[in-house]
Amino acid sequence: MDNYNVLDVKTSFRTQFVDLTSQIKQLVARVGIPKGICYLYAPHTTAAITINENADPSVVQDIIKQLDKLVPWQDNYRHTEGNAAAHIKAGILGTSQFVLINDGQLVLGTWQGIFFCEFDGPRQRKVLVKIIAG
């Protein structure tokens, strides 16, 4: 048996941020530890995990738009698979996040949500979640 939980994430577009906040909150509640750390890890090279505003969806749209400007899909990359931009964007945002747990709940700011960031979809993806008491 794995000592972590696996969330399956199905994406529908090449670039897509999937809000996992409520799923991860439910998981933390089910595990039921009062204090600790929730570690989130995406075992992929063209996807990332980020924490940002989930109240106004235009924030995510702006992030996606600016990442596209910063790292265009076509730019004479050496990586021949054709998805170099996705690898670079995943590298910029990173594959993991830590969130503290207090009183049995994730410690997130009022406007913060946890997003899985797809940069080379649509694909079937996974997020590994390790909840550590302490």
**Residue written as tokens 């400007």?**
69
Which residue, among 3, 8, 6, 20, has the nearest Cα to 123 in the 3D structure? 8
What count of Cα atoms within 13 Å lies in the side-chain half-sphere of residue 48? Answer: 19
Residue 83 is a binding residue for Zn ion (CB under 5 A): yes
Residue 54 is a binding residue for Zn ion (CB under 5 A): no
Q: Helices in 4-133 by DSSP H: which ranges?
A: 21-31, 57-70, 84-93
Q: Work out which of 6, 26, 72, 81 binds Zn ion, going by CB under 5 A.
A: 81
Give 5: exposed, middle or buried? Use CB within 10 Å, 0-12, 13-18, 19+.
Answer: middle
Residue 62 is a binding residue for Zn ion (CB under 5 A): no
16: helix, strand or coil: strand
Interface stretch with Zn ion, choices 22-30, 51-59, 63-71, 81-89 (CB under 5 A): 81-89
Residue 90 is a binding residue for Zn ion (CB under 5 A): no
Interface stretch with Zn ion, choices 21-29, 79-87, 95-103, 109-117 (CB under 5 A): 79-87
CB 46 to Zn ion: min, Å: 6
123 residue type, one letter: R
Residue 56 is a binding residue for Zn ion (CB under 5 A): no
If the CB atoms of residues 56 and 81 are measured against Zn ion, the closer one turns out to be: 81
CB 85 to Zn ion: min, Å: 10
The binding site for Zn ion (CB under 5 A) comprises 81, 83
